[in-house]
Amino acid sequence: MTRSPGADAQYVLRVATPADVPAILACIRGLAEYERLAHQCTATEPLLHETLFGPEPAAEVVLATTGGETAGFALWFRSYSTFLARPGIYLEDLFVFPAHRGHGLGRRLLAHLARTAVERGYGRVEWAVLDWNVDAIRFYESLGAVPMGDWTTYRLTGDSLATLGVARG
């Protein structure tokens, strides 16, 4: 649970560790509630330990904290662009708890990812945003991000994924 920070709150960004799994899960659940998708959130601490810190980590996490309290996070994984012939960053989730909004944390988290991309020689940072989230869209566009209007995201999950996964070519 978050409380309202003072005007002089000092925020620190750091790479998450296995000990941060409860904080990561709290961020994921906060985001799911904000996006009105809590009913789809089945993440658990054991799953996060395995998928983020197990033998084959699937993603990386940057936490924003203040006074030992989690304020927000960015969870991302490496993507690849065949056109650029370079890796990139796909930002899966960016979330700042409501009590910590308005302090520039979203910008700082995205700047951290941009810096990571530049340092690693990656070609881009990309993400998706819900159409109804006009505040996020305005924020992203204020940073110079552009919508990819010619593209539609598709997803296979659940029964459709399982059915196709067992089908023979």
The pLDDT assigned to 4 comes to 52
Residues marked as catalytic: 140
The model's pLDDT over 26-40, given as tens digits with 9 standing for 90+, comes to 999 999 999 999 999
Ranking 7-11, 22-26, 88-92, 110-114 by mean pLDDT, the lowest is 7-11
CA atoms within 13 A on the CB side of 57: 13
Strand, helix or coil at 149? coil
CB burial of residue 79 (10 Å; 0-12, 13-18, 19+): middle
The CATH class, in words, for 12-166 is alpha beta
The pLDDT assigned to 3 comes to 47
> If we measure between CA atoms, which residue out of 114, 70, 115, 76 comes closest to residue 96?
70
* Residue extents of the structural domains in the chain: 12-166
The pLDDT assigned to 167 comes to 87
